[in-house]
Amino acid sequence: MGYIQGDSAAEVMETAHTETGWSCHYCDNINLLLTEEEMYSLTETFQRCKVIPDCSLTLEDFLRYRHQAAKRGDRDRALSEEQEEQAARQFAALDPEHRGHIEWPDFLSHETLLLLQQLRPQNSLLRLLTVKERERARAAFLARGSGSIISEAECRRAQHSWFYKQFPEAPSCSVSISHVGPIADSSPASSSSKSQDKTLLPTEQESRFVDWPTFLQENVLYILAARPNSAAIHLKPPG
């Protein structure tokens, strides 16, 4: 499309042949996975909650946004103490370097993933995976099991493994690695590759076993969240 010229083109081609790979300025944007209706819903929520575009968010900002978003359609509804604690953990996962704020692109990507998780059926999400992502997931599954199933604890460890690779930076396309793993009630928050020395998972009872189709379904949002992701400009609320 003419965006990359000269030495940058050679650099991008070299990155494309690594395990991480490379995609264009449009394809590597997680926010572009949303439909027009989903994008409208998200921008409407930002406007209603008075989220300032292109600005980082502090924990106070993030909790206020969560409270206001929870009241959508029900003025009397508010976050419970447990939900507020979960929101604080979400913020901590988005701020692995403990800077006290989260960046606008990471916030956008996080909200996109939550919206996909809420609105899309599993089969729809699975269709978003690339061939390389499916192959990598299959290899991870086979590496963690001795047959056609793996334990639930191994499945959880695999969910974190998507974020524990040292991705090469690609300055020519301004791609950053997002820290925005999907966060559900039963899913531990994702962390960045810079905190690999931390203990990630509590001791878990390996009471449930997971086959390959279930493994892929339960990992699909983690795989999407681990994509190199550029900043989205089409979801910025008007200033």
Higher pLDDT, 88 or 14: 88
Query: For the chain, which domains are there?
Result: 30-119 (1.10.238), 122-162+209-238 (no CATH)
pLDDT digit string (tens) for 188-239?
333 333 333 333 344 444 578 889 999 999 889 888 888 776 655 555 555 5
Indicate the pLDDT class of residue 176, thresholds 50, 70 and 90: very low
For the chain, give the number of residues. 239
- pLDDT of 88: 93
Rounded Cα gap, residues 18 and 20, in angstroms: 5
pLDDT digit string (tens) for 213-222?
999 998 898 8
- pLDDT of 76: 59
DSSP 30-42: GGGGS-HHHHHHH
Over residues 157-167, mean pLDDT: 62
Rounded Cα gap, residues 219 and 159, in angstroms: 6
Over residues 114-134, mean pLDDT: 90
Rounded Cα gap, residues 128 and 96, in angstroms: 27
Angle between helices 104-119 and 212-225 (to 10 degrees): 150
Closest CA to 58 of 92, 35, 28: 92
Q: Are 4 and 172 in contact (CB under 8 A)?
A: yes
- What is the value of pTM for the model shown? 0.69
Over residues 154-164, mean pLDDT: 74
